[in-house]
Amino acid sequence: MIDEKNDELKIKQTKEINEQKQIVQKPSIINNNPTEIEVDRESLKKKDKMEEYLKKYYPNFFANFELLEYIESGSTGIVYKGKTTNAGNKQLYSFKFCIHSGDKKNNKAKYHEIVNQKGLHHINICQILAFYKINDKDFFSVSELGKFGDIDNFLHKFMRRRYLSESFVNYLAKPILEALFYMHKRKLFHMDIKKGNIVLDSEMELKIIDFSSSFSYQGYAPDHELKFGRIGTGRYMAPEILNKASISMKEAQKIDIYSFGITIYYLAFGCYPYGLSEIKGGEYDKIVEKLNNAKFEIPKDFEISKKFENFLKNVVEIDYKKRYNIEQALEDPWIKGWDIIAEEKENTGIQENFIIRLISDNIPKFNEYMK
């Protein structure tokens, strides 16, 4: 059933991607210095400096694209919002510029991200539409752009709220799981699921982004054990990652489930479980210590359904042997409630009205189902 739905989504998105690819034309590669370009990466966060860099090392960029504004930067790239110079195309895109640095680990991660992401075609995974080399070490990619930005931006800046209703969290949860199910079937772990790596497009469709920490386990047997380093983001890291424990490939999918669980817990309550809000994300040893004495609790003054509480408990379970796997999570009664919300969205003519109903938890059939 899940595979059939993913196949339908894949066909739908492939059609959309092909339409967009007709718009994004590949400029010819111009490379004045193919061996090395010394550049202050920090300065490229300023639009005029990025444009100056491109004019010097990739001048044909401006025959095809236009930069609009800086969005963010991370260890593997600098991201801008932009568009094509095609007058008939109003679509906005995400441009990620991966510029060489002295950090060999980050340089490797830049290519690693592209390799793992470019073959994925799912409605809930951000699609790379094009990829261009600037030189042997630098490149940029063109991807779909989430209109509302990541969920953290959507929650705090657009919605101006600290947390979301249970029905809204449910609406977001199942698509994340289906995208993870799709990835895991293709032997790929994301390894960094968090609110900052999930965006919402103009149709309120959720997209997973940033595959720089992803891990491909093609060729590994299910019982093969591997010891991961501390990959991902502090408070979202599964305990087995923080403890650098050996884990079989069959059980390793639960790493993504834990990070997913932390994400939806935060969206529902505006804080992290196990008292992790009191600790900085990079204080790994303190996080480990906190988890060693942790007890699952729902924050005071919050009323949620028993189904939701049970679901949360199983996806943020510290012991991975007891934690849900992807199939168990998708079959959970709380996740099944998503079908009711999807039907409500289909029947609500105006999207803004549907969002308002989600915010206020005004989905009567969903609330009745959760009793």
The domains found in the chain, sorted by start residue, are: 2-144 (3.30.200.20), 151-364 (1.10.510.10)
Q: Are 101 and 41 in contact (CB under 8 A)?
A: yes
Residue 156 DSSP symbol: I
How many angstroms separate the CA atoms of 199 and 259, rounded? 16
β partners of residue 69: 81
pLDDT surpasses 50 at 11:
no
pLDDT, residue 63, reads 92
The model's pTM is 0.83
pLDDT surpasses 70 at 1:
no
Q: Are 200 and 126 in contact (CB under 8 A)?
A: no
Q: What is the mean pLDDT of residues 317-324?
A: 97
Among 13-22, 84-93, 162-171, the least confident range: 13-22
For the packed helices 351-359 and 166-185, what is the interaxial angle rounded to 10 degrees?
Answer: 110
CA distances from 333 to 170, 277, 307, 369 (A): 11, 29, 7, 9
pLDDT surpasses 70 at 6:
no
pLDDT, residue 344, reads 94
pLDDT, residue 20, reads 45
How many angstroms separate the CA atoms of 31 and 57, rounded? 6
pLDDT surpasses 50 at 10:
no
Q: Is the dihedral of CA 355, 351, 152, 273 positive or negative?
A: positive
| Structure token pair of residue 116 | 């793992």
pLDDT, residue 127, reads 86
pLDDT-derived band at 108 (thresholds 50, 70, 90) equals low
